[in-house]
Chains A and B, each alone.
Chain A
């Protein structure tokens, strides 16, 4: 592995030095931004027609291109914006910024896989990557009218939802913990609101969304299956603006604007209010039953960011996200003495903060230093007791459970563009993790006996993760591009050291007929595990570290595909992949959450694989636009201690997955959008038969019947399919715009499976009870109406 690393480094250095020696060159650099708001544009194109070479802007809108002395003809372009062209004679290092004006709003739903060069899919080196414009996410019909980033990504091939309502991402047979979700560079550990029905990402605060499913560039690491990079807006540098929405579930408001000539801000908040509206009715209901109490659920999230430009070379960003979900129930009898009192609460939330400093070191070298903090917590409280008028007689039993994960991190990243044929990235990152795998706090008070209080801890674990990377995005010769790199990492925990060297490679070769052949190979390591009951993304899933006993997960993935743009209108791609994973963890048979004892003794380790083919056809232009994605895939798991060592289907093994999205611009004010999704049912374990077991004493029948599970996950729930439709009516006024959105989720009322249970049905004719198997569904047809405004 070290020889490979040395050879790769040597090749990179030779290419760079060689390029320098051939001709006198100068560097043009600067920023590409939105003219009206000064928001930096990520992956905007800059192309020189004289040298037929180009580059793209980085995450901070910075670009750099080194060209030979002489005439240059530059065009800066970005989807949704008007191009800027400029021509001049290059005779020295030059700084040019391109503030692009917004063009007429694009109404078709357009998914682009990178925006390099002329924006065509066959031009991009990177495969298995999609970027979803946020303006398009907002047009897709959504559950209860709540636009959701994750739900939009689930409409893409190779990306699945866990089930009805779930906002978990299952990418190419991987589990939700295998997705590196970055919000302005900070990892988010539980991206679910409302038990997984919505994600924590407020679309109004987001600038850019990128999902990488394979062929991971070396700058990313720490997760096996995907990287979801979400960047927040910086705030309008020039004018004060706001937008908001009033919906059936939640309302939100976003404000942005300049603080000073060089400083801008954005703040965006969202909260549900069903609990507040229903409170009086619920209280009244309790009183009618002789009780006082309440129940409800709420969530909120808040994004805030400040951006300050010290000079053309230095910028500082400070961003923060906080969000919380809370479900509560409490009741107390009004007239009884003693009064039975019950309280139950379930809550979870994230807090993330990032401070980033950009510095332009030279026109070719851009640096970024980031310090981040991330904290995820989950809490369950259960309390019941008897209350007397004399409080000293009260009895109470209280059980509280906490778990969570906290990270501090420091990252240093560099972008180096020595010439148009190379874009080097390198950097180093250090994270301090602190895991709380679970703490039980038990208290019992009784006037007749001594108070009892105890805390049972899973040992908190502190670990350090250090990584470094080097990658080069290069054009080797005409038609052939390659991104090659290496990601190295170390994880130190409980006196144990894990080391990893992960080569990464992706390539694109353009055939004469305009078809691009692409291939990639990547190895990944993951030092964090999510121990899941494989339910619906409940916060009861536990984040746990690799330890001296539990090794890190690892994977390798190979992918190959073809891509082509047809008639400048249709983008077609077909991609096949194979992924192998090892050191996956799962609960032992019979184990689950809320058990005492070391979690490491309740798990088993095993391996998995996933393979499939993804087809994606997108129409980009015209009044009618949209896409169809189809995935055929298979995903399996094998644990020596589960299913008697036999391989079994992963719960989210989905043989067929189809997504279709269409938008139709009826008029300047009226738009229609529809989606249809289909997926093979989840694989679950419910048993095939039942029988009576008997132990050797002959007299003890072990409680009667046993359920026979021939194989794990051998029962398929019914297929899932659903159509959503929506119409938006936009009115543009002098000072503000308004949009009414009306539609229906699950328009043809499909009863999609949520979970399976056994029940007894009473037959009135025979007077007997019959046991039946039933499927519970969650969402019938749900109409929605949503009003949003922008000023």
Chain B
């Protein structure tokens, strides 16, 4: 018992001492963020379908900074093939829906299949950013058939589907992007309206756009590939199925990797158990993607 009494006073002193030391037990500490170098962020897309070459040019921010007002203006954005400059893109101010700020107007360039193009971006205060893209060759769709009740659901209802088929070239890596659209022509500015598209084929997966699927030919190299694009139920006679098109793209590996990684990054955001996702970039001295797609809209057959 005497041992407890001898210990009692020192123990009480220790308890009161530590109870007064709130700062001692502070468990968070501000630390320096990683070093950040301002970089040009280039998202540039071209297509063989005659559309504009469009560039969204911004700058990166530090991890803890605000992303607002980071558009880059008065930059020089040029397109090259071999050592020859083909064109310089115009800076445009965009509306609320269209966010690209440098474009090469439609029809300025006819992309040569198999050729490699270089995009150079120069802006004050930044290292020159360079992106390279090779235009994929033609791989046509052999079939794009609409089925009103193509996919049965557990509830007993049906979804519609468009069955596509194509011949994959052998002994080379090929990448595709595909989706279903409706051409809206009752409008002063007709456009293709994308529809949510999915599939149960393991060769395809959702890209960064919910309306498109991305595919690589690892599982069917050199073979005819056939799979359904599943969409919501369309009634053939009541809805605008007559204006249904398949957006068919043959893309580069860079485009595929960017699409896949951007999708993953978006999906894992906020998940503490998911490992971080590095979004693919093919911009030297910068961040982003430069891609030229072999693209066509193919009318579905009924």
Chain A residues within CB distance 8 Å of chain B: 533-534, 540, 586-594, 642-644, 685-709, 712, 714-715, 718, 749, 751, 756, 758-759, 761, 770-778, 780-781, 783, 785
Q: Are A589 and B45 in contact (CB under 8 A)?
A: no
> B267 is contacted by which of A590, A701, A773 (Cβ under 8 Å)?
A590
**The 8 nearest A-B residue pairs measured at CB:** A590-B264, A592-B273, A696-B45, A689-B60, A592-B274, A771-B64, A590-B268, A694-B56
Q: Are A643 and B278 in contact (CB under 8 A)?
A: yes
Q: Are A688 and B36 in contact (CB under 8 A)?
A: yes
> B58 is contacted by which of A692, A709, A759 (Cβ under 8 Å)?
A692
* With known contacts A592-B273, A687-B34, A712-B278, A693–B39 Cβ distance under 8 A: no
Bound: A587/B275 CA distance, A: 7
Chain A interface mostly: loop
Is B61 interfacial (CB-CB < 8 Å)? yes
Chain B residues within CB distance 8 Å of chain A: 11, 14, 18, 24-37, 39, 41, 43, 45, 54, 56, 58-65, 67, 70, 97-100, 194, 208-209, 261-262, 264-269, 271, 273-280, 287-288, 291, 293
Bound: A703/B99 CA distance, A: 14
Bound: A704/B31 CA distance, A: 26
Bound: A742/B266 CA distance, A: 51
A593, A688, A707, A712: residue with the most chain B Cβ atoms closer than 10 Å? A688
Bound: A685/B63 CA distance, A: 12
Q: How far is the CB of A720 from chain B (nearest CB, A)?
A: 13
Q: For B267, list chain A residues within 8 Å (CB).
A: 590
* With known contacts A693-B262, A773-B63, A533–B28 Cβ distance under 8 A: no
Q: How far is the CB of B284 from chain A (nearest CB, A)?
A: 13
Q: Are A694 and B100 in contact (CB under 8 A)?
A: yes
* With known contacts A693-B279, A695-B208, A703-B269, A688–B35 Cβ distance under 8 A: yes
Q: How far is the CB of A677 from chain B (nearest CB, A)?
A: 19
> A704 is contacted by which of B27, B39, B67, B264 (Cβ under 8 Å)?
B67
> B100 is contacted by which of A588, A698, A771 (Cβ under 8 Å)?
A698
Q: Are B31 and A688 in contact (CB under 8 A)?
A: no
Q: For B264, list chain A residues within 8 Å (CB).
A: 588-590
Q: For A540, list chain B residues within 8 Å (CB).
A: 273
Q: How far is the CB of B251 from chain A (nearest CB, A)?
A: 10
B266, B273, B280, B288: residue with the most chain A Cβ atoms closer than 10 Å? B273
Q: Are B43 and A689 in contact (CB under 8 A)?
A: no
Bound: A718/B31 CA distance, A: 9
* With known contacts A540-B273, A708-B287, A774-B29, A687–B63 Cβ distance under 8 A: yes
Q: For B64, list chain A residues within 8 Å (CB).
A: 758, 770-773
Q: Are B276 and A589 in contact (CB under 8 A)?
A: yes
Q: For B98, list chain A residues within 8 Å (CB).
A: 698-699
B14, B31, B293: residue with the most chain A Cβ atoms closer than 10 Å? B31
Bound: A632/B25 CA distance, A: 32
Q: How far is the CB of A738 from chain B (nearest CB, A)?
A: 9
Q: For A690, list chain B residues within 8 Å (CB).
A: 60-63, 65, 67
Bound: A707/B264 CA distance, A: 12
Q: How far is the CB of B6 from chain A (nearest CB, A)?
A: 11
Q: For B278, list chain A residues within 8 Å (CB).
A: 589, 642-644, 709, 712
Bound: A711/B273 CA distance, A: 19
Q: For A714, list chain B residues within 8 Å (CB).
A: 34
Q: Are A708 and B60 in contact (CB under 8 A)?
A: yes
Q: How far is the CB of B97 from chain A (nearest CB, A)?
A: 5
Q: For A688, list chain B residues within 8 Å (CB).
A: 34-36, 63
Q: List 14 A-B contacts (CB under 8 A).
A: A589-B264, A685-B275, A688-B35, A689-B39, A689-B61, A691-B287, A693-B41, A694-B43, A694-B100, A756-B31, A758-B64, A777-B29, A780-B24, A783-B18
Bound: A751/B269 CA distance, A: 29
Q: How far is the CB of B263 from chain A (nearest CB, A)?
A: 9
Bound: A568/B274 CA distance, A: 54
Q: For A686, list chain B residues within 8 Å (CB).
A: 34, 63, 276
- Can you add 8 more A-B contacts, CB < 8 Å, to A687-B63, A689-B37, A689-B63? A590-B274, A687-B34, A689-B36, A694-B43, A702-B262, A708-B279, A712-B278, A771-B64
Q: For A697, list chain B residues within 8 Å (CB).
A: 194, 209
Q: Are A702 and B60 in contact (CB under 8 A)?
A: no
* With known contacts A589-B277, A691-B61, A702–B208 Cβ distance under 8 A: yes
* With known contacts A692-B70, A704-B67, A776–B208 Cβ distance under 8 A: no
Q: For B59, list chain A residues within 8 Å (CB).
A: 691
By beta carbon, the residue of chain A nearest B271 is: A592
